[in-house]
Structure 1
Amino acid sequence: MDDASPIKPSLTVLLASPRGFCAGVDRAIQIVERAIEKYGAPVYVRHEIVHNKHVVERLRALGAVFVEELEECPDDRPVVFSAHGVPKSVPAEAKQRQMLYLDATCPLVSKVHVEAQRHYDAGREIVLIGHEGHPEVVGTMGQLPEGTVRLIETADDAETFEPIDPMNVAFVTQTTLSVDDTADIVAVLQRRFPGIAAPHKEDICYATTNRQEAVKQLAEQSDLLLVVGSRNSSNSVRLVEVGLRGGAAEGKLLDDASGLDWAWLEGVRTVGVTAGASAPELLVQGLLDKLSTRYELTIQDVAPTRETVTFKLPRVLTT
């Protein structure tokens, strides 16, 4: 007589959609892949192309060399600028050195750069809502002369900010912020400076907004929220924060299934699962596979939005 297999406890998984790669990340990764195909290895990449260690390692294996600054790149090999954008000084140096460079800046980040330039040309004092030191913030501030853009990180910063001319201020934002936190900061600025110039369309990108909305929908039903993403990924970290604020009893950020601690699941009956905009779907599947080794999973999709956005690759890579 065969021994009966032990019965696994049941676990409900609320799977957020959309999750994982956004159009800007997908485009940036394709730019590196196509560049390696077209020009051969090595292709240099200034900063991590996107904030995910698995993506970076895979591209490194294909022949990408990741560097911090342009000075580390030889003149005779292609260089790709990351999806987060770069200060104007970087392409200027590349041109001066007659380098072949490919700009993988997300078009929605480029939109913020254009807005900042427009405000500067109109003579306005510019506030950037964002996180100090993040590559996107460094790139946006680097579009304009040093000292032109003032960084605000919190509502308290917005309360104490003193512009030169309170009647002539504009704001732009990092694209990967918490929608709710940013709304709080903007509310302070608009209360203090009623005439402040705002973006024509919200700067926080559609993908960040959509992923946060999906997490809000599953959070209040989740005993535990698992977000697949790297710790240096702003949008991934924000997903954990949004989930906890939305009612999840606990929230954890993990690079992949190997980061799962079974102790987190003690007493848990419902798990919410999502992934930051730079995390491959393969990692989500790996997490579900690991959960299924100990639990009988019931997977429910939570999909408030469908995404159909795509961005074109640079023409030099498609001809």
Structure 2
Amino acid sequence: MSTAIYRRQLEQRRKDLAGAQKKAGEFRKKESDKRTAANKAREAAGKKSGSMAASKQREASRHEAAATAASKSASTWDGKVARFLKEIGGLEAKLAKAEAAERAAADKVRQREQEQAERRAALAQQEIEGRLSTTEGQVSTMLEEIRAPRPEKLRILLLGASSEGDLRVGREQQRIRAAVQAATHRDLVELEVHPAATTAVFLDALPRFRPHVVHFSGHSAENLIAFEKDEDDFHESAIVNADAFARAIAAVDDKPLLVLLNSCDSAAQAMKLIDTVPFAIGMSDTIDDGDAVNYAARFYATVAEGQSVQAAHLFSQAAMEMNGLSGHDLPTLNCAPNVDPAVAKLVTPPPE
């Protein structure tokens, strides 16, 4: 799980602890008050005689019984306090481990980005003189090869997974659908939407739907993706190794052109995916739900307007920044060495 989930769980457990401590204190005070009242009643009984003494003794017994009941309730809440303290300790340990893993993942992503930039710079320096005059023709040929051989709609597979119900994947898919429907070339885009995606749904859709774009929204980390299980109630995620996810995409004949992992700490996975697909987008750190939803909706709206992959990516980041969203620099576009994201378009309007 991401650090954001552990932090939310810690916050809730600390609230639970405070509530349990308050309850335990209330019952301890009640116990003390009732025992004091019982002692006073017994003292009064010693000073009386006959029916008055008996009445005070009965009053003392009632206070003593109430004190005993309060003591039992206080013990019950003390037990909850101990349990919450133990859970908080466990969550703090998991959070520390997750934070360390995220820092390590971010360091690896930065290192890979630097290495990729250096490789691209070296390649550009070697080839610029000899290939400058033929770049346009090569890019055109490359795009013809990666696009479908016949005119067809852009097929986008939207996979959402939030088995614990803590992410708004349904809202994200709704925003994407609305954004595409409002675009100029909406008739050139086909969506297949799965708001509770299991591994079986993903594996069935790849060869059947043959998506040009695979979009995943949910939980992830550097080396894993969290799908749902085929269960109706909230449940623990079905954890899938990132390499297995990549191998499934690589196995089909009609490979996607773009994989967009709209999930936390997925940039490292996206970096690896460009060995299989021309373009891959991931998030370099933990991203808030609202930021992820806004980026995705704007990205597909821009694609459906016939803009290039690079234009859609940069325009979506700029829109996030203009709207005051702090995660505008988290989406990271990765490209295979032989493709130009500034030229590649996923939606091309038919000639007039």
Q: What TM-score results when the alignment is normalised by the length of structure 1?
A: 0.24
RCO higher in structure (CA 8 A, sep ≥6): 1
Structure with the greater alpha carbon radius of gyration: 2
More strand per residue: 1
More helix per residue: 2
Q: What TM-score results when the alignment is normalised by the length of structure 2?
A: 0.23
